[in-house]
Structure 1
Amino acid sequence: MAPVYFSPPMLASRGASGEGEGSLPAQVATPPSVAELTPSVCFSLVQFKDLLRQYRALDDQVTLRFNRVSARSRDMGESAPPSLLQRHTSQFSSASAQDLGKSTYGTMPNDVCAKFWQQLVSVWSGREDAIKYCIATVGTSRTPTIADDPDLRLDSDARPAPAVQSRSEQMDEFIERQMRNELAIEQIIRQRSLEAFKERCRAFTPENSDAREQGYWKGH
């Protein structure tokens, strides 16, 4: 099965959402195998978590394809175990063999590593953008409170006591907290995939990477 490469998600609207377009952040495109991200998804934890589940499965798919390419590389002799990494200066014999002192067993060529690295970065950045989009979307629906707005805080003495938060506002705050927790979970997931990648691509280092990609490479 040929590898499928994902392009980095672009911040662009995919059509009118009908839900306060003027104040909502620009929609985030998702890969074909992941549900479309709309404002309504952000306000449903069930739909939001299902979207993340689909998105996080892409990490496993990239890792699976990476393992298959690595196994195929070994089968074709492009990498070899230490016992085969020997140079013979005369007729073959164990006595004539010089151990090269290093092993490429299980490692991948840099060009292959670069392709898989870009796939991972695309998935990671797209998922992070999706979470931040939903955090911003839910945040725009909240009514400013005295704690949020300095002008309200200065004028609070002249106002009647604020009403108890509505059930809807409480739910929005809960959803927003859950989404911020997902950002922390993202770092854990990225670290797991990053360790597996670096184990196979020990000689690879990203070139001409931006600040975000450098952060991913450093495990941030």
Structure 2
Amino acid sequence: MTSPPLGSLAIQAPVPTLTVHVDASTCHNISLFKDLMKEYRKLDDSITMRLNRTIAQYRDMDRAGLTGKGTVEDQACLQVWRELVANWNRRTRIINYCVDVLDTSYEETKRLADEADGADPRVRRKTLAESYSADIKRRQLLNERTVEGIVRERSANGMKLASLAFSSRLYHCPIQPFEPGANTLSRRAMTPMPSGRGLATEAQGQLG
């Protein structure tokens, strides 16, 4: 069964205009999939630098009288946090989509292997090999959920430490990484989505 394409997603880094088209072939190409995740995680790998740059931008805006409510640091922290969470959600959509694609592929190859029982030995070996390969890919994609959780925890800690560096106050960033609402959102984002439903609409115009 052919899986519908996930669509085009703009990568946060390193090139703002870079887009990729995610479909079933992306999911089956594990090397390509991992490269895609690596690109998306560049924002997580440079939290402190991104926060410093954003604060500098807000200070320039503040001097021009263009900032909003709150301190420069608070506004910068809020912007970076929103960018970070948006990037997490993009990655989660891709991971869940690809897990669904490979689950379907594994079930199909497993069914064919079962049907080949008692058939020509060469056909049997071929279908078993395909089923084994599909299962390996599926497990690798499932492991990405664990990796994603580790990356998020590291980034949240980085945001917390970086925001504290600008003030002696314990509460500095408008949205603290370990605020109950933020944790709830992160856990909900890791929940697999129904197959073939809601992928394009949840992207709010970023999928094409």
TM-score range, shorter chain: 0.5 to 0.7
Q: What are the superposed Cα offsets for residues 118-170 of structure 1, whole Å, 9 maximum, x if unpaired? A: 10001111111111111101112233558xxxxx9xxxxxxx77956522221
Structure-1 residue corresponding to 2:155: 193
Q: Distance in 2 between matches of 1:189 and 1:182?
A: 10
Instruction: State the match for 2:42 in structure 1.
Output: 57
Residue 95 of structure 2 is aligned to residue 131 of structure 1: yes
1:169 paired residue among 115, 131, 137: 131
- CA deviation vs aligned residue, 1:66-119 (integer Å, no higher than 9, x gap): 1233467799xx9xxxxxxxxxxxxxxxxxxxxxxxxxxxx9632222211110
Note closer, same or farther for the CA distance 1:171–1:26 as it changes in structure 2 (3 Å cut): same
1:35 equivalent in alignment to 2:20: yes
CA distance in 2, matches of 1:171, 1:60: 32
Larger relative contact order (CA 8 Å, sep ≥ 6): 2
Aligned partners of 1:128 and 1:196: how far apart in 2?
A: 20
Alpha-carbon distance in structure 1 between the residues aligned to 2:103 and 2:8: 20
Judged with a 3 Å threshold, the aligned counterparts in structure 2 of structure 1 residues 51 and 214 are, in CA distance, closer, same or farther, namely same
Pairwise CA RMSD: 4.0
Q: What residue is the counterpart of 1:178 in the other structure?
A: 140
Residue 206 of structure 1 pairs with residue 175 of structure 2 = yes
2:45 is paired with a residue of what secondary structure? helix
- Which structure has the highest helix share of the two? 2
Q: Is the alpha carbon distance of 1:172 and 1:108 closer, same or farther for their aligned partners in structure 2, counting shifts above 3 Å?
A: farther
Q: 1:124 to 1:178 in 2, by over 3 A?
A: same
Q: What is the CA–CA distance in structure 1 between the aligned matches of 2:172 and 2:75, rounded to whole Å?
A: 11
Residue 35 of structure 1 aligns with an amino acid whose one-letter code is V
Amino acid at match of 2:33: F
Query: Aligned partners of 1:138, 1:169: CA distance in 2, in Å?
Result: 11
Q: How many residue pairs align between the two structures?
A: 158
Residues 25 and 137, structure 1, Cα contact 8 Å, conserved in 2: no
| Cα distance change of structure 1 residues 46 and 168 upon mapping to structure 2, 3 Å threshold | same
Residue 206 of structure 1: CA displacement? 3.4
Q: State the partner residue of 2:194.
A: none
The secondary structure found in structure 2 opposite 1:30 is strand
CA distance in 1, matches of 2:146, 2:26: 20
TM-score by length of 1: 0.56
Whether contact under 8 Å (1:131, 1:183) holds in the other structure is: yes
The percentage of aligned residue pairs carrying the same residue is 27
Structure 1 Cα separation of the partners of residues 85 and 58 of structure 2:
23
Name structure 1 gaps, 5 residues minimum.
Answer: 1-18, 79-106, 147-151, 153-159
Q: Secondary structure at the residue paired with 1:35? A: strand
Q: Are positions 1:115 and 2:84 aligned together?
A: no
User: Are the aligned partners of 1:33 and 1:54 in contact in 2 as well (CA < 8 Å)?
Assistant: no
